[in-house]
Amino acid sequence: MANMKSFKKKKLKNIFKKLSEEDLEALVSLLKNGFSINDALNLVVDEKNKKIINKIYRDLEKGKHIRDTLSKYLPIKVKDYFMNFILIMPLENALDSSLRIVKEEDAQQKRLWKGIGYPLIMLVVTLVGIMLFTTYILPSLINLLDGFSSDNDFLVKVNIGLSMSVSGLLGISLLILSVGWWMMLPRNIVSSYKLIARLNPNSIFVQGVSIDFARFFLVCLENGINTKDMLRVLKNMHNKVLVSYVAYQLDALLSNGDDFKDAIKNCYVEKKLIRFVMIAMQASNCQSMLKGYLEMCRVRKERAIKRTSYIIQIISYSLIGIVLIMVYSVLMAPLKVLESL
């Protein structure tokens, strides 16, 4: 038991023994301006990262490669990309590209959560509240109204209908979550993606993979990486299984003698990405076209998030409105009975 506790403590300590993104950005800036790795580390050192920098120095003095040494102290997300990019890029470019992709992904997740996080929470709370109301509170109120010789058949039917509707919504949500979880399992994710891409090549799922692929593609182009090396790196992106799959697919088609235009047409990516790439190849301006595609995707996703947010809010407010009407009907029933006396 004591050993288990000490292991957990060590694990927790190791989590915080990482260079921050600010440290890494400063390091990249210095390296790009011609400083050596030792001088750059010496300039970014402060009280928070002093121990880590000293460990890096000691490892370098022992003759260890900077890639293996630095990777131990990178945030997990940055490390996953860095270990692949360092194979085909200089140190500063590999770090810069990794940080850039992580920032873009974090910004994308924040926009998604900001857009639909609150409406989703409100909907879940509303559904749970209505289930509790229709299960425990409303039946008691209806029983209370029976003492006033009031006709409660309508309220009973509405209560049953509302309970079934809410239960159905929760059941469908759980079913969707379960199917989504099953599809995202490592053994199922590629086959699920292929099926969805065949049935609906412009689905949100395919769009997401296409955006990831375009983002990595753009980074490699900006660093002057040729197609062969780019695909070799993307195939090893084990933390991005579907990007890796698209890279394998594209590499296989190119190996069979297809040119890039024909190969990208037969890959499981969004049709709009294919059109952008085709135009880019003709205009010989692939980087600008890919940037345009990513910007278009950002705007499109923001609009989709807004639409989804409005729909969720409308459902939530409608359910709340129905409950308020039912409560009002229950409260007014005794007054109607008294007026008829």
Final residue belonging to a domain, choices 51, 80, 100: 100
pLDDT in tens, 18-42: 888 888 899 899 988 988 888 888 8
Asked if 130 and 28 sit in the same domain, the reply is no
46 and 168 co-located in one domain: no
Q: pTM value?
A: 0.78
Question: Each residue of 269-300: b (16+ CB within 10 Å) or e?
Answer: bbebbbebbeebeeeeebeebbeebbeebeee
Q: What are the respective helix, strand and coil percentages of the chain, to the nearest 5?
A: 80, 0, 20
DSSP state of 136: I
Q: 20 φ, ψ to 5°?
A: -75, 165
Question: Model confidence over 310-337: pLDDT tens digits?
Answer: 888 888 888 888 778 777 776 676 666 5
Lowest average pLDDT, out of 8-17, 106-115, 130-139, goes to 8-17
**Domains in the chain: how many in total?**
2
Residue 68 sits in which domain range? Answer: 18-100
Domain end among 55, 72, 100: 100
Residues 158 and 291 in one domain: yes
